[in-house]
Structure 1
């Protein structure tokens, strides 16, 4: 059941990217007064000149920025305008340490803070079907729940501030490494002449099936890498995971391997494409399996542009860019 809209319900949204802009649309449809700021100026109603002005105009402030540096900068800018009535909600995927730093700045002004990264694509945001992971006080969550429900189908309280950020990073490690494994499995099938479109059928009643594989496999086979979650952002999140692991003396070999592969993809200019674009290294993406033979390792498939990478027998040389062994 949707909670009742709170009194003094003006919402500020900072960061109007793929997700933030869609959350704004949902808030407006729900009747909330919304005030906006973005690093690059947008021709939007109620667009203000700084995060501090957004704080002055709003009670609840939702932050959708790209990284920890941007989060800390925004929170410091708005801090002088914060009061005990404010609730600042960080939706950016950042490290637990950066989350705690932002929370301390907010709490120094006697305002409240929630750690609230999300899972869900651009389309889910547009439909109001994000899933929020929440770190922070449950009483604060209940206060802001009606605002969050406008763009969410589920709100999960994970624990203290920082715990939700850790959970989001951990789930992204799972997504990244699953897609790396999917790319390898497809390469194996391709080299043995198996129709790649049959993999979906084989996975229907197989324990290896997952939501991220269901989402990414069609695009990999068709060569459609329109970004739902960009390679650039996934690489950033895996870097966060590796830093978290190093801090606690934990080894993450699969995540390290993905990071090396992602770095090679970024060097090829694929950063703005979906992170599943890494399957392109193997040379089978976008081929019609009925009309083309598997490409020998190191050769381009028929019809593929010479500017695209040749298929490779092993990605060890790419993964070696970041070694998990010190």
Structure 2
């Protein structure tokens, strides 16, 4: 199937770049954002603005959502003025928000009742991955639907894997966030230790990022820490949300996650200091 009209709801740090890539690929992109001012740049590029979620639902064949919190996802999809109550049968939905696996499964079932199709497809790679169209996309849902939408995913990401049925994308994203959470503690402690020891953080980074300690976070966020740049590629407040979902999910499974629990406590302390809108690498400020 060849799609022409893509709805995009949530023009934030990452959504802006993702929608732009889709337009450059030749799709007609129809956008809605809670704050229109934040969408003005993409509108000036040629995106068509709609005044509500319902209007996007009526106009698009495929609708991508990347909003803030699970309650936002619930409102956008399941609310009276939401997508499922206003879209046409045959519409495809891709929720790229990091949200609850159980909510992804609920949206899938409600869409199916209406002869619509839904995938949960959270992403990783931050603002840099979004700008360079090389996001990791972890997908949950039916294989046939995934195959239909793969050409769209390929315009915004590089590592695109169907992880399983509905909710599997969200479960995979929780694995991703767990690894990042404890990894960021290690990065911040290593840089703080290097400074205390009188070393050059730049030289230390040059050495350790090519060895066993290497990671995306180390190569992309440690330089920002060293430069004192704590602008968000991903907000502290949203990371706390993700860790909360992961902890709740782990508890439901009966799995102990002490590293994740510690990371969440540290990030909550950071938010209390007024850093909730900083990037996740601002955790370093607790050590400074």
TM-score normalised to structure 2 length: 0.91
Which residue, out of 93, 117, 125, partners 1:112? Answer: 117
Distance in 1, matches of 2:210 and 2:11, equals 40
Give 2:135's aligned residue: 130
Give 1:207's aligned residue: 212
Distance in 2, matches of 1:135 and 1:261, equals 31
Give 2:156's aligned residue: 151
Distance in 2, matches of 1:255 and 1:8, equals 40
1:129–1:152 Cα contact (<8 Å) kept: yes
C-alpha deviation, 1:256, in angstroms: 0.7
Which residue, out of 168, 176, 181, partners 1:171? Answer: 176
Which residue, out of 23, 27, 32, partners 1:32? Answer: 27
Distance in 2, matches of 1:179 and 1:71, equals 27
C-alpha deviation, 1:23, in angstroms: 1.6
Distance in 2, matches of 1:204 and 1:28, equals 35
State the secondary structure of the residue aligned to 2:19: helix
Which residue, out of 208, 215, 222, partners 1:217? Answer: 222
- Note the alpha carbon deviations across 1:240-286, whole angstroms, 9 max, x for none: 11111111121111111111110111011111111111111222xxx
Which residue, out of 258, 268, 273, partners 2:278? Answer: 273
2:93–2:117 Cα contact (<8 Å) kept: yes
1:82–1:109 Cα contact (<8 Å) kept: no
1:82–1:106 Cα contact (<8 Å) kept: no
Give 1:323's aligned residue: none
Relative to structure 1, the CA distance from residue 208 to residue 70 in structure 2 (aligned partners, 3 Å threshold; closer, same or farther) is same
Matches within 5 A, 1:188-267: 188-267=193-272
Which residue, out of 68, 71, 74, partners 2:70? Answer: 68
1:92–1:117 Cα contact (<8 Å) kept: yes
1:63–1:90 Cα contact (<8 Å) kept: yes
C-alpha deviation, 1:8, in angstroms: 4.5
Q: Does 1:88 align with 2:93?
A: yes
2:123–2:136 Cα contact (<8 Å) kept: yes
State the secondary structure of the residue aligned to 2:73: helix
C-alpha deviation, 1:204, in angstroms: 4.4
Relative to structure 1, the CA distance from residue 220 to residue 143 in structure 2 (aligned partners, 3 Å threshold; closer, same or farther) is same
C-alpha deviation, 1:87, in angstroms: 0.6
Aligned length: 278
Structure 1 residue runs of 5 or longer lacking an equivalent are 1-5, 284-326
RMSD of the TM alignment (CA)? 1.6
Distance in 1, matches of 2:36 and 2:26, equals 24
Distance in 2, matches of 1:202 and 1:108, equals 55
TM-score normalised to structure 1 length: 0.81
Relative to structure 1, the CA distance from residue 21 to residue 195 in structure 2 (aligned partners, 3 Å threshold; closer, same or farther) is closer
| Higher alpha-carbon Rg | 1
Give 1:11's aligned residue: 6
Structure 2 residue runs of 5 or longer lacking an equivalent are none
C-alpha deviation, 1:145, in angstroms: 1.5
Give 1:48's aligned residue: 50
Distance in 2, matches of 1:190 and 1:48, equals 51
